[in-house]
Amino acid sequence: MHPRAGTVAQPDDLIDVDALLAAYYDRAPDLDDPAQRVVFGTSGHRGSSLDGAFNEAHIVATTQAIVEYRRSQGTDGPLFIGRDTHALSEPAFRSALEVLAANDVEVRIDARDSWTPTPAVSHAILLHNGATTADGVRTHGPGLADGIVVTPSHNPPRDGGFKYNPPHGGPADSDATKIIAARANEILAQGVGQVRRVSYEAALAAPTTRKHDYLTAYVDDLGSVLDLDAIRAAGVRIGADPLGGAAVEYWGAIGERYGLDLTVVNPTVDPRWAFMTLDWDGKIRMDCSSPNAMASLVHTMRPAAGGAAPYDIATGNDADSDRHGIVTPDAGLMNPNHFLAVAIDHLYGGARPGWRPDAAIGKTLVSSALVDRVAAGLGRRLLEVPVGFKWFVPGLLSGEVGFGGEESAGASFLRKDGTVWSTDKDGILLALLASEIQATTGKSPSQRHAELVESYGQSWYARVDAAATLEEKATLAALDPSQVRSTSLAGEEITAKLTSAPGNGAAIGGLKVTTENAWFAARPSGTENVYKIYAESFVSAEHLTQVQEEAKQVVADALG
């Protein structure tokens, strides 16, 4: 833990925006360095221009690769593009538009020439493609739209990000991103001078470039997915902190459109994020699930001496608004796993009678087992999938999955009539759901979590890292359950050894081991020589520590 974690950033912590932008245009990537090539993770390509990992050449090449990929798929409808508030997002947006216009791609840019949250792009794609019914949804073919979101999500201010959403509206799967990344790197090697481009001014003036009012379309449609009337009638006092991200204008519009008692706690947009409190490692990171990054909002919620908290519910979002953080007067910042369980219990416990009675509950396999227990208590099918929101996309489109959520504070769910709302994570939606829960139950989400604990037991959950070589990480990613020789974990019999997800059979790229009252999952890091150990115990904090320590030994034995 950094000694200044949770304190406001100092001048020495801030980026030099001019230097960052200059490097975007001036620096060329060294393709002999793997870290400077195009690499798509679960949320697109990310990196910094200062490291030669996110420069004009990367965006030109990647955009051209997307143009070629969408053509190969028969996708010839409009491409919806949005950007967040990171300093590198605007130049990357400009570079992308120059390539798209030169390739005669129909593009929909923000009508306000402003920032666009990730969920608003997903929402726009789905509306255009007619994905408002649970049957007959097309995800490939002529006339369909797709999208690009220029964002590194919650990453530090020095970073940029670029992700592709195909016609299903959600994150592109690895089949698509492998093709796009490979072609982008091929173009980089050949030289981006071959890529057709026009000037930014010409791209804006092109007949294929049209404006789209993302904000109005998204905000006006929120009543189809949330009980905003109940929030207004109950007078829930909401404090929304966009953390300097793309939702900054959306929150004010939501409050005005629906007559809510809603205050935008901090409307400041600053590409340096000088107002942020430092995260656990001393970096500025817009992680709304982090107590350190959310320290200012948590402090704001503290009641004055003898008084009440200024808000009933306070919320935070990351830079592209696909994540949520929930702060209550009685508990402060909620653990993301706790809120996922509360949200699921609320939505499936009677708040959404229009959903299919067999709509499954979607969770990633590193999310809390409290969700498993809530699902069993509700009599609902649990769909446990590998890490990555993309796994929930088919079920959300068809209505077979009502809610999909990750332990990292990302989730989305269906409209009230059981049709798809978004197929990407929606932090604004989940933040407003907290107020719906407050309004309809008279209890805060943290109070509802306490009630779930009474019913299903208290758990202790944490993630730690352990050192691993490149060879060990590769072995871990390709493990077979038979390689796990242990029969017990922290005093309990092992009940399952998983290298594929129970919900869909997809490889998890690691290992999950369960017992009656505990579990751990080990996955190699994509960026560091470590593997991540997620673990949970329904016994005690001491038992969790024992699970974590024994997990390292189980993995070591399996790796041989």
For the stretch 104-153, pLDDT in tens is: 999 999 999 999 999 999 999 999 998 644 444 555 667 899 999 999 99
In a domain, 451, yes or no: no
Three-state DSSP at 460 gives strand
Using alpha carbons, list the distances in angstroms from residue 406 to 327, 341, 362.
Answer: 18, 11, 9
Return the CATH number at 38: 3.40.120.10
Residue 88 in contact with residue 81, Cβ under 8 Å? no
What pLDDT does 118 receive?
98
In a domain, 375, yes or no: no
pLDDT tens, position by position, 55-64: 999 999 999 9
What pLDDT does 305 receive?
74
Domain limit, last residue, from 163, 183, 214: 214
Return the CATH number at 530: 3.30.310.50
In a domain, 130, yes or no: yes
Three-state DSSP at 167 gives coil
Q: How far apart are CA 45 and CA 61, in angstroms?
A: 12
Q: Looking at 153, 290, 367, 435, which residue is catalytic?
A: 153
Three-state DSSP at 98 gives helix
What pLDDT does 133 receive?
41
Which strands form 360-364's sheet, in the order they lie side by side? 382-385, 360-364, 401-406, 410-413
Provide the domain limits for residue 501.
Answer: 460-559
The total number of structural domains in the chain stands at: 2
Domain limit, last residue, from 170, 192, 214: 214
Residues of the chain with confidence (pLDDT) below 50: 132-136
In a domain, 514, yes or no: yes
In a domain, 180, yes or no: yes
In a domain, 58, yes or no: yes
Q: How far apart are CA 93 and CA 328, in angstroms?
A: 37
What pLDDT does 140 receive?
60
Q: Which residues pair with 328 in a beta bridge?
A: 332
Residue 353 in contact with residue 457, Cβ under 8 Å? no
Provide the token pair at 147: 């999208």
What pLDDT does 537 receive?
98
In a domain, 242, yes or no: no
* Residue whose C-alpha is closest to residue 132's, from 225, 230, 216, 212: 225
Angle at 541 between CA 532 and CA 370, to 5 degrees: 75
pLDDT tens, position by position, 375-387: 999 999 999 999 9
Burial code (b: 16+ CB inside 10 Å, e: under 16) for 325-350 equals bbbbbebbbbbbbbbbbbbbbbbbee
pTM: 0.95
Q: How far apart are CA 181 and CA 65, in angstroms?
A: 8
What pLDDT does 139 receive?
59
In the residue annotation, 199 being an active-site residue is answered as no
Using alpha carbons, list the distances in angstroms from residue 296 to 95, 176, 248, 301, 385.
Answer: 35, 40, 17, 9, 34
Domain limit, last residue, from 165, 190, 214: 214
**383 φ/ψ angles, rounded to the nearest 5 degrees:** -110, 105
What pLDDT does 465 receive?
86
In a domain, 267, yes or no: no
